[in-house]
Amino acid sequence: MFAKLTTTELTSSLAAFIAHALGLTSRLSAVELVIRCMFFGLNLAFNGVMWSLYTSALAKGNSSTQVSIMNTSTNFMITAFLGFAIFSESLPPMWWAGAGLLVAGNVILGRAEKASADKERATAN
């Protein structure tokens, strides 16, 4: 979201509104640059947070497959929701079909891994 806000026309409109509200209309380009830099910084910060949480979950989780399932599914759903809420984007049915197939594939892999782990525990006993 913040990467898109760094480059979109929506940010130009936001900058114009802020510059007008603060009486900085003559400095519109500077206000826009500051806002775009702020969004770029937020993009880097949120990516850092996501990777920190992901690696922490990998270290603490029962399996890397479960962590990947949750990460992929969450990424797709949050992307779709924020795209709709902030940018008024509508996603075509093909996107939803692809997202559904990715999630279904992750669930199938997760179940296969769980069944394999259960089988190993049963033979160990």
Kindly list the domain boundaries of the chain, sorted by start residue: 1-60, 62-125
- pLDDT at position 125, please? 67
- pLDDT at position 102, please? 80
What is the rounded distance in angstroms from the CA atom of residue 105 to the CA atom of residue 99? 10
pTM here is: 0.68
CB atoms within 10 A of CB 31: 20
| Token representation of residue 98 | 């692809």
Sorted by sequence, the CB contacts under 8 Å of residue 3 that are 6+ apart come out as 39, 40, 43
- pLDDT at position 89, please? 86
Question: Tokens 């809420």 identify what position?
Answer: 85
pLDDT per residue as tens, the chain (125 positions): 888 888 888 888 888 899 999 888 888 889 999 999 999 999 999 999 989 999 999 998 777 877 887 788 788 888 888 888 888 888 899 988 988 888 788 778 777 777 777 777 777 76
φ, ψ of residue 92 to 5 degrees: the values are -70, 160
